[in-house]
Amino acid sequence: SRKLLMIPGPIEFKNEVLQSMAIPTPSHIDPDFIAVFANSLKLLKDICQCPSGQGFIVAGTGTLAMDMAAANLVEVGDKVLVVSTGYFGLRYAEILKRYGADVDILESEVGHIVPIDDVEKQLKSNNYKILAFTHVDTSTAVLNDARSIGALGKKYKVLTILDGVCSVAGEEIKQEEWGIDVVVTASQKAVGVPPGLALLVASPNAIKTFENRKSPVSNYYSDWTNWLPIMQAYENRQASYFGTPPVNLIIALEKSLDLILKEGLEHRFDRHKRAGKAMREAIKALGLELLTKNAETVANTLTAPLYPKNMDAKAFLQVVGDNGIVLAGGLLPELKDNYFRIGHMGSINKTDLLATVGAIETALKRNGYQHELGIGTAQVIKHF
């Protein structure tokens, strides 16, 4: 039977979202679809709280959204700072280097952020054009202080790129107010749409930087020279074509973004906070440690618990699966079998949390770990 997906993406999608896309595909220039595309672009900016931004919706994954920001903003030799909190920070550094950026990496200790004073010191010491960072690093469950990094970007006139693949629509982002120039994300996590959409919101400053480039963008598919007129055409309710848009996915995107805004961003972020808190308290009550040590900088979209001593990671995940729940293993290569990851974003509810903690308790017990059965689930009841 079908298992509940409690991994950090893809997540469980709402039936309404899935059903919205189960229709014969209209033409990408059908006036009704043009209206859906235009509205999706607007709703995407609403979710990122960036009314002055330019949205981009393109077939692809989160990595393409990261790639697109890099391709369009980097010119060969540009100084770029990556503030890395794990796997996806390092991926961003690799992407930026491909476009000829001269990349410095400030790497955090595992499970921590890079102290904001260290970021400022680094910005002072060099003439950086871009700072890229991960909002929630899915490999560590660390939540970065995006507001402070945005403020530093403004202070030192550095373009900021936020990888929000594991945060947008789950953690608060005030892109415009915080001064973040580019937010990149994807459909399959808290945005609540099956995999296949690269999503991006660029500030006027980012667009200006692109327009003032001295060299052409060295990636054909990502080039905003191709995509910007398309996005603007949809916004102006005009037919246009560069690459065929994933029509059904964009129909689902409009549906999901609409449901997210109907729930209300404040309410939604609060629900994610309560889910995150409930999961962390459950894990702690079971006597397990978290990879993310600091309560101030822990994500609410996923949790990364360390296994108890001598736990067989494979056997543990197997029993969790037998109990109807899919969890994810570790992603940091050096700690792969020392921890696991639980996604809890999107339409996450109490039933999902109880079932998940129940399966974790069962798997711990079956694999020889001693704890009082129910002590974790009690925390879910208490905190959610």
Catalog residues that contact ligand PMP under the rule CB under 6 A: 9, 61-63, 88, 134, 137-138, 163, 165-166, 186
> 101 vs 190, which CB is nearer to ligand PMP?
190
Tell me the CB-side half-sphere exposure of residue 366, using CA atoms within 13 A. Answer: 18
Number of residue whose CB is nearest ligand PMP? 62
Instruction: Establish how many alpha carbons lie within 13 A of residue 355's alpha carbon, considering only the half-sphere containing its beta carbon.
Output: 17
- Cβ proximity to ligand PMP: between 92 and 269 the closer is 92
Alpha-carbon distance of 41 to 254, in angstroms, equals 9
Q: How far is CA 173 from the centre of its chain?
A: 11
Give SS3 for 161. Answer: strand
**How many secondary structure helices (H) and strands (E) does the chain include?**
14, 14
CB of residue 169 to ligand PMP, shortest distance in Å: 13
Burial 301-338 (b: 16+ CB within 10 A, else e): bbbbbbbbeebebeebbebbeebebbbbebbbeebeee
Which residue's CB is nearer to ligand PMP, number 105 or number 378? Answer: 105
CB of 319 to ligand PMP, least distance (A): 25
Q: Compare residues 138 and 303 and give the one whose CB is closer to ligand PMP.
A: 138
Nearer to ligand PMP (CB atom), residue 134 or residue 256: 134
User: Between residues 7 and 282, which has the closer beta carbon with respect to ligand PMP?
Assistant: 7
Shortest reach from residue 137's CB to ligand PMP, in Å: 6
Nearer to ligand PMP, 219 or 362 (CB): 219
HEC readout, 286-355: CCCCECCCCHHHECCCEECEECCCCCCHHHHHHHHHHCCEECEECCCHHHHHHEEEEECCCCCCHHHHHH
CB of 279 to ligand PMP, least distance (A): 17
Task: Give least dist CB 302 to ligand PMP, A.
Answer: 9
Q: Cβ of residue 270: shortest distance to ligand PMP, in angstroms?
A: 22
Q: Minimum Å distance from CB 159 to ligand PMP?
A: 18
CB 330 within 8 A of CB 338: yes
Sheet holding 159-163, edge to edge: 54-59, 197-202, 182-186, 159-163, 130-134, 79-84, 102-107
Rounded CA-CA distance 83/113 in Å is 9
Q: How far apart are CA 240 and CA 338, in angstroms?
A: 50
Rounded-to-integer distance, Cα 227 and Cα 380, Å: 45
- 91 appears as a binding residue in the annotation: no
Which residues belong to the annotated binding site for substrate? 341
